[in-house]
Amino acid sequence: MKKLKYAEAINEALREEMGRFPELFILGQDVRRPAGADGAFKVTAGLPQIFSERIVNTILHESTIAGLGMGIALRGGRAVVEIQFADFVTDAVKMIRDYMAGLHYRNRISLPVVVRMPSGAIGSAGPFHSICPESLFLDTPGLIILAPATPYDAKGLLKTAVRSGSPVIFLEWKRLYRLNPEDYPKELGFEIPEEDYVIPIGKARIVRAGSDLTIISYGNMLFESLKACDALKEKGIDAELIDLRSLMPFDREMIFESVKKTHRVIIAHEAKKIGGIGAVIAQMISEELFDELDAPPVVVGAPFTPIPHHPNLEKAYLPNADDVVRAAMTKIFCEKTAAQHIVSPLRETAAAIPRAESADADVRVKMVPFTPVQKIVAQKMAENWKRPHIHDDIDADVLKIWDEYREKKEGFERAFGTKLTLTHYFAYAVVKVLMQNEFWKFRSSVEENPLTHVVKDFVNLSFAVDIPTTVEGLSHHELMAPVVKDAHKMKFAELAFAINNLAWKCRNKKILPEELRDGNFTITNVGIFETLRGNPILLDGQSASLAIGRIRSGEDFVANVILTLAFDHRPINGAESGLFKQALKEYLENWNVDIFRD
């Protein structure tokens, strides 16, 4: 195994394939120069000394260069032609699109020609030496377009291209030619084997796995996208990064599998946003995976303007990691909620049955689809009800906290700048009881195969948030369950602030996926809707949850509440449930917490 620079890997691939195929020619401007300086970027360096008669300098006419390569292929040979800068290929577009690709596709003949194009911005080279040319060829049947971002992929894909019987556009990124192997991120720093290898055309690669967002990229922009994944991770967003490697054909299967998992996608490339492959992939996803999406596909690319010369303007022109992060935060995770992380994703797999329309259909009846949030909640409820739920009640006298709440509400809110509600009292009591050693099962979960207790010595407290909204003009309420992480470490005021803050973020569509994950106990205060008794459901990774009914009065009591505990009957039995409820009841009835200090 060895490490090579990007240009060195391409050079090695050319040398090995020239040795493999005696009929292979390399053509282009300055592909042979004084020893060691062959090629504008020295990619063919040293090859003329080995294969002198088959390394051919051409005139300064790109259409002729492409035509020579096609002629060699039509006479039974193979050709690798170099367009010195990708920008110059415009003079050869007709030759490549109509003749080269056209002959191969229409007549079904072998036409092994690789068109190498040094592509992308390199630093103040301006509009004539900096373009990404892929959009010129994406809609051309008969052409393969490859865009490797690493030395390993560059060598393997170039060897595959030379051996194929199809015309291939091979994009090389000028900024990567001299990048030291040690400077590649660990996810991209592949060593190159000594033995021969090839990489299949049309196969992408997952650079980093994730569950919240799919980022699809290639070439120079792959490095920026990887930086964006790191930045998003700090915001609690677990992004999956896919390196396309092959632009046409692209790996539809991998893209679809990833988007079905994350339900959100950004396609990022250095090429212009308008007319790029990002728009092609976004359209395909929108058409074929619409029901899987929780946010519209987003394309990050260069603006619709020529590439500027000035380094400051060029820096502003080129898309970067900040652009990807900004797109994720403003166009996906704020404008659209991360609702599937209320629980782990479970999407519909069965095809919908078409609804027959009647000519005399009752206009008073209309079909209103579930919102994405409602759909996920409904699906997961159906799935989680398969677990053996038990519901058990206990009646608690909460007069003491009721009186304190009314007495201290104004002073608390003035002191801490956050709203005080009765939910905060119940949440604090639940956390304290959960952390008692005898109730470890109530904060833990069950591993299914084999059945095992997953013991958690912490409390990540989920709580239900009601989100009023409208759907097609009809009033509607959605449900989210944000999670207060490490609630057991918080003082009363800290817990109250955390609950209020997360509830605000849910209602204002600012919640992040990380803030909707990893809860190990849930409370829901159905009493705010005047409901006497709740019927809570267990969420993923939880063995118990609690519903709080409305505070009521009667002949023999002033402020009582029904607490309904739902629990998984496999790890928790009735006796343990009874002890937990009794402990919670006693904590509430004997409330002895200084909410200003504790």
Residue 523, pLDDT > 70, answer yes
The verdict on whether 569 is a catalytic residue reads no
pLDDT greater at residue 537 or residue 67: 67
Instruction: Identify the residue whose tokens are 């398969």.
Output: 386
Residue 356: pLDDT band with limits 50, 70, 90: very low
- pLDDT tens track for 322-352: 999 999 998 888 643 333 333 333 333 333 3
Phi/psi zone of residue 297: left (φ > 0), alpha (ψ -120 to 50 degrees), beta?
beta
Residue 528: pLDDT band with limits 50, 70, 90: confident
- pLDDT tens track for 453-511: 899 999 999 999 988 877 777 887 888 899 999 999 999 999 999 999 999 998 888 88
- pLDDT tens track for 295-326: 899 999 999 999 998 888 989 999 999 999 99
The whole-number pLDDT of residue 265 equals 96
Whole-model pTM? Answer: 0.68
Pick the CATH number of 6-179 from 3.40.640.10, 3.40.50.1010, 3.40.50.970, 3.90.550.10: 3.40.50.970
Contact (Cβ atoms closer than 8 angstroms) between residue 238 and residue 212: yes
Domains 6-179 and 374-589 in one fold: no
- pLDDT tens track for 281-299: 999 999 999 988 988 999 9
Contact (Cβ atoms closer than 8 angstroms) between residue 28 and residue 85: no
Residue 535: pLDDT band with limits 50, 70, 90: confident
* Domain locations along the chain: 6-179, 205-336, 374-589
The whole-number pLDDT of residue 450 equals 85
The whole-number pLDDT of residue 508 equals 85
CA distances from 266 to 280, 324, 331 (A): 12, 8, 10
Pick the CATH number of 205-336 from 3.40.50.920, 3.40.50.2300, 3.40.50.620, 3.30.210.10: 3.40.50.920
Domain 374-589 has CATH 3.30.559.10: yes
- pLDDT tens track for 110-160: 999 999 999 999 888 888 888 999 999 999 999 999 999 999 999 999 999
Q: What is the mean pLDDT of residues 213-227?
A: 96
What is the token pair recorded at 108? 């079904």
Contact (Cβ atoms closer than 8 angstroms) between residue 551 and residue 425: no
Catalytic residue, from 104, 129, 263, 424: name it: 129
- pLDDT tens track for 357-377: 444 555 677 677 776 666 766
Where b means 16+ CB within 10 Å and e means fewer, 57-86 reads ebeeebbebbbbbbebbeeebbbbbbbbbb
Where b means 16+ CB within 10 Å and e means fewer, 147-162 reads bbbbbbbbbbbbbbbb
